[in-house]
Amino acid sequence: MHTILGTWDVRLKTPIGTLNAVYVFSDSGGVLAGTASTAAETVPLAALACDGPRVTWRQSVTRPLRLNLDFEVVVDGATLTGYSRAGRLPRTTVTGARREDDAAA
């Protein structure tokens, strides 16, 4: 079982401010899948890989800027920490907390 499965409230501390997003990770027939949602948009996650507690993925966003992002996080129980990067831009700190009751989301 993947350590990342479930619904996560995630904060991304970017140079233009902190963004809040909801990430949902699921296992569909042994294939890891996910989406990221903000007030502006919902996007699919690509190239999801889970290696123990280390999870990586890619996603494209159009708001607040059009960017292709690469993520690398480490899951420790109900928390995740790591970073995202868009090309040559500085790393963005990523932190998250797993929702205790996914059914209530």
Predicted pLDDT at 1: 63
Q: Do 69 and 78 meet the contact criterion of CB atoms below 8 Å apart?
A: no
| Stretch (H or E) spanning 37 | strand 31-37
Contacts 24+ apart (CB under 8 A), 71-80: 73/4, 75/3, 75/4, 80/4, 80/8, 80/10, 80/55
Q: Which two tokens mark 11?
A: 């904060």
Q: Name the class of domain 6-99.
A: mainly beta
How is the chain split into domains, by residue range?
6-99
- Each residue's pLDDT tens digit, 79-105: 999 999 998 888 999 999 999 875 444
Tokens standing for residue 1? 């079982």
Are 62 and 69 in contact by the 8 Å Cβ rule? The answer is no
User: What residues in the chain have per-residue pLDDT under 50?
Assistant: 103-105
Say what the pTM is.
0.91
Residue type, 97: A
Per-residue confidence (pLDDT) for residue 11, from 0 to 100: 98
Predicted local confidence at residue 30, as pLDDT: 87
